[in-house]
Amino acid sequence: MNGWIILDKPLGLGSTQAVGAVKRVCREAGLGKVKVGHGGTLDPLATGVLPIALGEATKLCGRMLDASKIYDFTVKFGTQTDGLDAEGEVVATSDVRPTLAEVEAVLPRFTGPIEQVPPAFSAIKIDGQRAYDLARKGEAVEMKARSVTIYSLRHAGLDPASTAAPEEWTPDQVRDDEGGDALQEITLTAHVSKGTYIRSLARDIAHAVGTVGHVTMLRRTKAGPFDLEQAISLDKLNAFGQGAAQSEVFLPLEAGLVDIPALNLSPEAAGAIRQGRVWTGGCTDDGLYWGRDSDMRPVALIEALAGTLKVVRGFNL
């Protein structure tokens, strides 16, 4: 078992629990002990794409953690909680509700490289302790700003090239009972770099329009090369443990490498690279590749530089 299970993580399940579920299902399927890891934490209150690596694919977890992600999220205006989510205790309120035009006007401020202060309820370590542990004890937690990149930020469901408003909003999204267009909440889509906290992004958008807010829905729709079309439900995962076909739940290791060009290796080059040796005489442009042998099996992540091929991460397949 060397590859990926892409789980559509349900609400309430933690990432560590999801990894445990995959280990259990693998045992039930008669696969024995399998090395398992995940490619990017999702909070229990978040749903969506959680890449889970098995066997040799776990060597790519670090790369998956560094990959960009896409999220849909709903910001509810008028209340801010200590955790910046629906479970936290209310710490600030405001009667101000922004219009759609006001929200649209501030979104460009949060696109591109930005500085962001993470939530106090986060896994960031402060003096060796998790910030959320300190916050839960009632201790004051000073979070330092960090640089992140927001590649795009728009209304959920809108084409990225479109500037038109959605054709209709749900009743909870727009309140017009007073003859205005004040938003109770709005759902956005953000494509972000590693290290970005959507809860902080929601807080800052609310502040920018003169109110407060928190996240009531967070769904990851893409992580690195994986999206919801490849994701399976927890029920489908459990069915694998009861005898469902492996092809129904499992993606090969190279599915996590589709954003890197493949490099066909000669038998001699493949043999040298499997032994960790630098191969000279490679005729390709400089850059990162994944090398494959004549049977199309992944051999290693390879860095090409000045005619040489050097192993970045080898696969024992």
The pair of structure tokens assigned to 182 is 């004040």
**Active-site residue flag, 43:** yes
Helix (H) or strand (E) holding 287: strand 287-292
CA–chain centroid gap for 210, Å, is 29
Catalytic residue (choose from 43, 85, 204, 293): 43
DSSP result, 132-176: HHHHHTT----PPPEEEEEEEEEETTS-TT--PPPS---TTTEE-
**Residue 98: burial class (beta carbons within 10 Å; 0-12, 13-18, 19+):** buried
CA–chain centroid gap for 152, Å, is 15
Report which of 223, 287, 302 is spatially closest to residue 255, judged by C-alpha positions.
223
Tell me the C-alpha distance between 122 and 199, whole Å: 10
Calculate the alpha carbon distances from 229 to 48, 71, 161 in Å.
11, 15, 22
Tell me the C-alpha distance between 96 and 19, whole Å: 42
Tell me the C-alpha distance between 311 and 262, whole Å: 14
Q: Tokens 């979104």 appear where?
A: 107
Check if the beta carbon of residue 255 is closer than 8 Å to that of residue 267.
no
Give the residue numbers annotated as catalytic, written as ranges: 43
